[in-house]
Amino acid sequence: MGKFSGLVLLLFSTMTWAQKTLDINQMLAALKTSKADTSRVNQLNKISLYYNETDTIKAVSYAKQALNLAQELQWKEGIAKANFELGIIYNSHFDYDQSLVYFQESLKWATPKLSSKIYLNIGGIYLNKSDFTHALDYLLRALKAAETIGDRKYVAKIATNLGSVYFGIQNYNKAITFFNKAAQLNRQLGNDLDLAIVYRNIAGVYTSLQEPHKALSYYNQAIILNRKLHNEQLQARILSDIALVYYNLGDYDRAIQNCHLAIKEQSLGNQNQQIIAFIHGVLGDSFIGKAKANSNQTYFLDSAIVNLNKAVKLHQQLNSSRDLAYDFSSLTQVHKLRGDYKSALSSYETAMVYEDSVFNFENKETIKNLEDKRAIELRDRELKIRKLQLEAKEKQKWMLTLGVVLLSIIGGMLFYQSHNRRKTNRKLRVLNQDLAHKNHELDQANKIKARFFSILNHDLRSPVYNLIHFLHLQKESPELLDETTKASIEKQTMESAENLVVSMEDMLLWSKGQMEHFRPQPERFKLQMLFEELKIFFASSAHIAFEYKNSDQIIVNTDVNYLKTIMRNLTSNAVKALEKTSQPAIVWKAWQVNETIYLSITDNGPGATQEQFKALYDDTEVVGIKTGLGLHLIRDLAKAIDCKISVETQKNEGTVFTLVLPQKKEDLK
């Protein structure tokens, strides 16, 4: 049995044992005569908090009244508290999505002290959802806020939840480290309830480490502390956990005995569905163990089915896919022992569905969130790079000035010598003209080089940073990556690197095109081959429907690398334009009219203006960070192979790029 009833999360105002008994009748009477001021907002929030455990509808109603009044009064602190109370209510009733909405709204108005509580609760929600990346993020924010204001009580609570995060990712050493920190603070503060919860969590870690005697030792310490507190739910949790330890030891009678004691601890009006569901799951598995030990005795198998069906019903209400996977796996065992293989197969298939659901949820891509955490660091690096570039330009300016001064001196000396030797002067004049021509060529080369490297800086920085970021993550925080997530990130990094290589090949081709003696190498090839390579290149854009129309098997004579680069860049522009388009589609088409071959790329994106494509036709258009390589590369390469490009674009209807390639008669044969 690979389950555990779940670590108790120490949140704010979510535990029944943390709430004081309130005289509700006295509060309701005082509310009737109170004025519409900030005091009334606080009264409404307290009444809402009272009803949270008994009447959810009333709890929500009073909290929303508090929110409306606070908004009318434009009282920021009251707005924050009312939204916070609504988040607490929905959180305690497992409506996590709605709870997050109110917590995020509360953060907009919250004081630093309230912010630490909100971060703590948001972290707890993500922890309950097994979203450990977000849980760790918000709990670290909560810890920083609590330490800033010196709130040791909440530092202890947050340390407990951080231990739960590391327990969730099976980093048991760090989990015990944070739990021990929380235990030390709670002992110093005299928080017996929180200390009992921490002991229970430590015992859960030792249960997972298969050290049952250490686990039982901490469970017994938790029970001793809780006897003075008379907390029914915590006592039920501890007894059910002890039952699980005995189950793992094969002592099924003690496991069943502790399950029954746990059920008795919960009063009829205050039962916790999660705990009850877990208890029935342990009971079901324990009866399966007894049935195996007693030759599949029918009584034990029937008892197992009854308890497992109760667990299934409660876990379905709680929408807990992980626990449902455990329950149906256990039911599969029962049906096999009874010889009902049809029901066993059905239960097994259901268990697999829930396991797949848990696997898919826990392995969603989180790289973007991790990149956001390092955004400030990346911006700092960009600033350093820009500073170095400015310093380099300043040095270059002084070097050019020095060069001009030196040339002036040389010119003066030549002018002086011209009085003495006319023949030498004519030769020097020729040399000076040649020098001026070379300087002009050098200036043009420098401009091309500056443009090329500004493009390189912009278009290659992002994939390289992605690669660097993954290596940093792998080195500094390997515990956050399980094998599946690591494989997924490595795959995406490899794809990014491969696309980077292709982009670098495009840029190399373009840079060669800028050289004086570099010429295209035309050859005959089928356009269908070009379209198939394009489709493979853009296979990662699976959300876009790609189609090509080339029924006549057209053959073209031109430089295949130039044409491929032009088509790939135009298609990349179309892919970017379709980012926010529903049902995006791109159509490649080729046709021939007499001795001219036409190619087109059509998308159904939002369209643009002709001004945005100016760089495609105007050689004087400035190349900068925003314009990138794109249209300048396309313009230069198209010019090199005598290809003309036209653009038709309409708002909300899309864009069509058309390439015109004149052919010679002998090339078409």
Superfamily (CATH) of domain 523-668: Histidine kinase-like ATPase, C-terminal domain (3.30.565.10)
Confidence at 15, pLDDT banded by 50, 70, 90: very low
**What SS3 class is residue 624?**
coil
pLDDT, position 499: 63
Please choose, from the candidates 552, 561, 581, the residue with its C-alpha nearest in 3D space to the C-alpha of residue 655. Answer: 581
Mean pLDDT to the nearest integer, 460-482: 67
Tokens of 477: 């925080």
pLDDT, position 14: 36
**What SS3 class is residue 549?**
strand
pLDDT in tens, 519-534: 788 888 888 888 888 8
Distance of CA 151 to the CA centre of its chain: 31
pLDDT in tens, 573-617: 888 888 888 889 999 999 988 889 999 999 999 988 888 888 787
pTM of the model: 0.47
Domain residue spans of the chain: 1-110, 120-181, 190-271, 368-513, 523-668
For residues 472-502, b (16+ Cβ closer than 10 Å) or e, as one string? ebeeeeeebbeeebeebbeeebeebeeebee
pLDDT above 70: percentage of residues in the chain: 79
pLDDT, position 656: 94
C-alpha 123/C-alpha 109 separation (Å) is 19
CATH of 190-271, one of 1.20.1630.10, 1.10.10.10, 1.25.40.10, 3.40.50.740: 1.25.40.10
Fold of 120-181: 1.25.40
Q: How far apart are the first and last CA of the chain?
A: 74
Mean pLDDT to the nearest integer, 295-320: 87
Do 1-110 and 523-668 show the same overall fold?
no
Which helix (DSSP H) or strand (DSSP E) does residue 248 occupy? Answer: helix 232-249
Select the more confidently predicted residue: 442 or 457.
Answer: 442
Checking if the pLDDT of 517 tops 60, the result is no
C-alpha 348/C-alpha 341 separation (Å) is 10
Please choose, from the candidates 189, 183, 177, 122, the residue with its C-alpha nearest in 3D space to the C-alpha of residue 151. Answer: 189
- Written out in words, the top-level CATH class of the domain with range 1-110 is mainly alpha
